[in-house]
Structure 1
Amino acid sequence: MKRRLYKGTDYRRAHSIDELREVARRRVPNFCFEYVEGGSDDEVTLKRNRSVFEEIGFVPRTLVDVSARSQAIDLFGKPSAAPFMIGPTGFSGLLTREGDLALARAAAFAGIPYILSNASTMRLEDVVRRAGGRVWMQLYLYRTRDYAARLVDRMKAVGVEALVVTTDSAIFGNREWDRRNYARPLKLDLRNTIDVMLHPRWIFDVLVPHGVPRFANLGDMLPPGQDSVQGAASAISKELDPSLNWSDIRWLRDIWPGKLIVKGVMCAEDAVTAVNTGADGIVLSNHGGRQLDGAVSSMEILPEVAAAVGGRLTVMLDGGFRRGSDIVKARALGADAVLLGRATTYGLAAGGEAGVAHAINLLKTEVDRVVGLLGCSDLSQLDAGYIRWPGHPEVSGNSAPRFEEKKRVTLAPVRRFPAETPLEKEVLS
């Protein structure tokens, strides 16, 4: 019998993130899925983000007692239940009603941070109040710097822990496959219009009765009444600032007292500059393959960056993570944590909040299994000695460097992850 992934619409039957992706594809209109899925130009970087993990092999230890395991980590001095978090994904309300809140609630229940997108469809204050947990906020530095200052004030008022400034979008990438769904800007072509009509569940979840979701955290920058998709697209295109540079990060450091994270770093030199600018953390990121096509993956530059700045700031990364084994490889090569983008977004599109919880549970279970099979009782034991990456200048053969072990933290007792989390059962009941 031919092997095949599950092709239905019940997210609970998905055994992997790839299967959740297929469920998501069926449950939302094509233009929504393409918005999530697509990359720039020929999508070379998009593919590279995934293929790089196949080059990296594990070197497990044997006859090690792994009867008690934990994947809990310390992140900015606070415990986190897993070595990953949900990164910022814009316009989540297009996938399900109050999508930003669904992501935040699932993250809070799982004990991991959530980063609210600058392009969210729910206000920061509402997400923090209704979700609880560790809500961080993403910021794009537009030409209107006063907008950033006002958003920082709002973050202070609700006690946001960390500000994540995205630096790789001063110029928009060329996402051709996304644009092909439209007859003209923001007007779906006939094929996609018909496809929307074939998704009544999505229509009554997202469009009825309020219409297309609006951007809720860009209101301080947009002209009055222009927070719709059409109005915002025109305004934002004029607000992109190609002159963005490190002096802008220093300005942000001066007005923001909390944790400052620079997202979009892709070389060791910039990572060192981030340290010197006062950043508390960085995210190695090529924007999910949606900006510069042909860029290297964040995993490829992780060992070099970790060697250059490890211990001086928190090193995180995103790009192509679909398996717990991917996350463990990143930890072994020096990352403190991983940001998830499409992986949890597939869960959101496939099953709302419970679908996100299912995606998190799948990855937690996989991380737990991989760590045990490697012969580790907790993640702090991992280093590059557990990795072989032939051909990589920093990690190859028996000369693989062993990075300094992270400071040990108090770890939570091992948890077993059932097929359905309590959150899933609560939502389904």
Structure 2
Amino acid sequence: MAKPARMKSLLRPPKIAWNPTERRLLRAAGIDDLRLLARNQVPRMVFDYTDGAADSERSLTRARETFANLEFQPSVLRDVSVVDTSRTVLGKRSRLPFALAPVGFARVMHAEGEPAVASVAQQFGIPYSLSTLATTSMADVAAAAPQGRHWFQLYFAEDRALVKELLAQAAEAGFDTVLLTLDTPISVPRRRDIRNGLTIPPSMSLGTFAEACLHPGWWLRQIRAGTPSPQVLAATGGSASDMIKRVFNPRLSIEDVEWLRGAWSGKLVAKGVQSVADAKRVADVGVDGVWLSTHGGRKLDRAPVPVELLPHVVDEVGERVEVLVDTGITSGADIVAAIALGATAAVVGRAYQYGLMAGGRRGVVTAMEILSREIEVTMKLLGVTSLDQLDRSHVRFR
């Protein structure tokens, strides 16, 4: 039988968090845990807007399954006492090898919205991408994270005067990179949103209003913050619906990419590339980066899996442009696998949005802590001390 003195040394009181948000987040060991917390903290329509994907959601499911089926090939007998998780992405050093994806209407998920996410990105030394449909202006995001690195996701409207105005806003606010979205010629309604009666901009039926009232914390924050609206587009005038309709462009062409390259002096990334052929086309007109993406599986159902395309695109254009990848990333191990397959950086969206819904800014911090810890652990177990040591010998498709 153990002696009392020995038992005393083994027993340690658990960490106590008096704040209920902190108490919830202490139980989150992975992004999946944050997802479950998020589902309980916001109305179903809000959770489904973030969590859902297009039509049958096969694009998202297949992307997640592909990452889950990747097999690591570790090396042992290596000194991994210290690892370097930093990475140069589009000309600047990031402390971690990923960026935060643009997500529209972030204040719907939590009233703290985009400024909270931008400040956390600054804290962790990674880029934050602001959506054209953001509910916070570029100037206010820059003020919330004055030392942060900000990218602007651009929907290229048919009205080039509007595009010029958005580029001017980005330049004035100190944004260094424009992400031109190529995979959204039209707005795509999603099945979950239709079933929930959710519209963008947000409006609610009597049923969704009643369901929202079951989450009084979310509801009170929304009342205090006011109705979320697309603040980046606010200067263009008109209703929120009118503003949104203006930015989708079914006539977008390679000539528009060329024009944008001449109009924007900062870094330019083509976002939404889904084939080797299109990667070559945009590389030929001088973009700095190719972002392999299916918009998180939210546009074309049964689209290609971006991480499967990754090695082929890197082989074709990797010497000319940097290659980023998203969709299906749910862990730090997924990020490490993407780097090993040739990506300059990965991009995560839902992972931090789950954190935002679960606990506002503090929830986003938890998401970043989880991902950064998993990246470091995966690197050590693979036997590498820097991201530059990763290559395709470390991972294979099964």
Q: TM-score, normalised by structure 2?
A: 0.91
Deviates more, 1:267-276 or 1:326-335: 267-276
**2:68 matched residue in structure 1:** 54
- Give 2:142's match in structure 1, choosing from 112, 124, 128: 128
Amino acid at match of 1:62: V
Give CA deviations for 1:261-317 in whole Å, capped at 9, x if unaligned.
110001111111111111011110001111000112111100100111112111101
**1:34 matched residue in structure 2:** 48
- Give 2:216's match in structure 1, choosing from 193, 200, 215: 200
What is the total number of aligned residue pairs between the two structures? 375
Amino acid at match of 1:211: G
Identical-pair percentage: 38
Give CA deviations for 1:328-360 in whole Å, capped at 9, x if unaligned.
110010000011100000011111111101101
| Deviation at residue 188 of structure 1 after TM alignment | 2.8
In structure 2, C-alpha distance between the alignment counterparts of 1:258 and 1:183, rounded to whole Å: 36
Matched, 1:85 2:93: no
In structure 2, C-alpha distance between the alignment counterparts of 1:199 and 1:170, rounded to whole Å: 35
In structure 1, C-alpha distance between the alignment counterparts of 2:181 and 2:116, rounded to whole Å: 23
Give CA deviations for 1:218-250 in whole Å, capped at 9, x if unaligned.
123342xx2xxxxx2345336522111111111
**2:78 matched residue in structure 1:** 64
- Give 2:265's match in structure 1, choosing from 239, 247, 257: 257
**1:216 matched residue in structure 2:** 231
8 Å Cα contact 2:90/2:289 also seen in 1: no
RMSD: 1.6
Larger helix fraction of residues: 2
Unaligned runs of 5+ in 1: 1-7, 227-231, 391-429
- Give 1:148's match in structure 2, choosing from 160, 163, 176: 163
Matched, 1:113 2:127: yes
8 Å Cα contact 1:174/1:290 also seen in 2: no
Deviating 4+ runs (over 4 angstroms): 183-187
Q: 1:127 to 1:310 in 2, by over 3 A?
A: same
In structure 2, C-alpha distance between the alignment counterparts of 1:92 and 1:12, rounded to whole Å: 23
**1:172 matched residue in structure 2:** 187
In structure 2, C-alpha distance between the alignment counterparts of 1:184 and 1:158, rounded to whole Å: 30
**1:415 matched residue in structure 2:** none
Amino acid at match of 2:159: T
Matched, 1:280 2:288: yes
SS in 2 for 1:88: coil
Deviates more, 1:337-346 or 1:68-77: 68-77
**2:24 matched residue in structure 1:** 10
In structure 2, C-alpha distance between the alignment counterparts of 1:365 and 1:212, rounded to whole Å: 36
8 Å Cα contact 2:64/2:328 also seen in 1: yes
8 Å Cα contact 1:281/1:314 also seen in 2: yes
Q: TM-score, normalised by structure 1?
A: 0.84
**1:158 matched residue in structure 2:** 173
8 Å Cα contact 1:98/1:122 also seen in 2: no
Give CA deviations for 1:352-411 in whole Å, capped at 9, x if unaligned.
111101101100000000010011111100100111224xxxxxxxxxxxxxxxxxxxxx
SS in 1 for 2:81: coil
Q: 1:235 to 1:217 in 2, by over 3 A?
A: closer
**2:394 matched residue in structure 1:** 386
| Deviation at residue 183 of structure 1 after TM alignment | 8.3
| Deviation at residue 158 of structure 1 after TM alignment | 2.3
In structure 1, C-alpha distance between the alignment counterparts of 2:198 and 2:338, rounded to whole Å: 41
SS in 1 for 2:270: strand
SS in 1 for 2:64: helix
- Give 2:314's match in structure 1, choosing from 290, 306, 318: 306
